Amino acid sequence: MSDARTQELARNLDAVRERIRGAAQAAGRDADQVRLVVVSKYFPVQDVRRLIGLGVTEFGENKDQEASAKFAELGEGERTGVRLHFVGQLQSNKAGHVAGYADVVQSVDRPKIATALARAAARHDRRLEVMLQVDLDGSDPGRGGVLPADLPDLARAVADTDELRLTGLMAVAPRGADPAAAFARLAELSAQVRQEHPDADRISAGMSGDLEAAIAAGATHVRIGSAVLGARPAQ
């Protein structure tokens, strides 16, 4: 596809990749250590197809129904090699469904969700990568996330299952907070978790507005929506 929308996405993608490169370079890191997850929520499967054509392989979605319907529209050939990260808040009754199609669940924030995911993954004969979403300041429970004090128990709950592989931590910078300070705190928590779970070395942090701060603090995954796809339609 080389319609106007594809060209727009290509330009945005180039600009985001350039920001990632610049931020990695400024931090003395290799840009290859930072994976781009394009958050395609609210945008149609046609945009996902365009982005696949432009070389994007990792997508993020935050709503079960939207994510499952959208990615089910991809043909088997299109879906091959594409990894879908679920980044939204999960209820335990939805977790089972998400386990049927997501490759990574970044937003696990309580043992009940971990248990539901593991059970459903077993039923689907699948393995899931899991990141623990951390609530960095406790000021906005609506966004989800485990409080730092509860992180060790949650990490053990995930690591103790056969179906879930604990790969790291995820966070959203608290509203109004200095993102550099927030992501530095996340990096500290990541180091603590790795003492017990050395393979949980991924850090998903940084969105369109703060990816530079996240990469400076060691992010291995950035989750970018609007900087690639444009402003989201009103919710």
Q: Which residues bind ligand PLP (CB under 6 A)?
A: 39, 41, 62, 87, 172, 207-209, 223-227
Nearer Cβ to ligand PLP (24/87): 87
Looking at this protein, which amino acid is placed at residue 210?
A: D
Which string of DSSP letters, residue by residue, matches 161-227? Answer: -SSEEEEEEE--PPTTS-HHHHHHHHHHHHHHHHHH-TT--EEE---TTTHHHHHHTT-SEEEESHH
Bin 203: left if φ > 0, else alpha if -120 < ψ < 50, else beta. beta
Nearer Cβ to ligand PLP (84/161): 84
User: In the complex, what is the shortest distance from the CB of residue 225 to ligand PLP, in angstroms, rounded to a whole number?
Assistant: 3
CB hemisphere CA count around 197 (13 angstroms): 25
Nearer Cβ to ligand PLP (74/207): 207
Nearer Cβ to ligand PLP (197/223): 223
User: In the complex, what is the shortest distance from the CB of residue 39 to ligand PLP, in angstroms, rounded to a whole number?
Assistant: 4
Query: Which residue's CB atom is positioned nearest to ligand PLP?
Result: 225
User: In the complex, what is the shortest distance from the CB of residue 108 to ligand PLP, in angstroms, rounded to a whole number?
Assistant: 13
CA distance 63 to 167: 21
User: In the complex, what is the shortest distance from the CB of residue 169 to ligand PLP, in angstroms, rounded to a whole number?
Assistant: 13
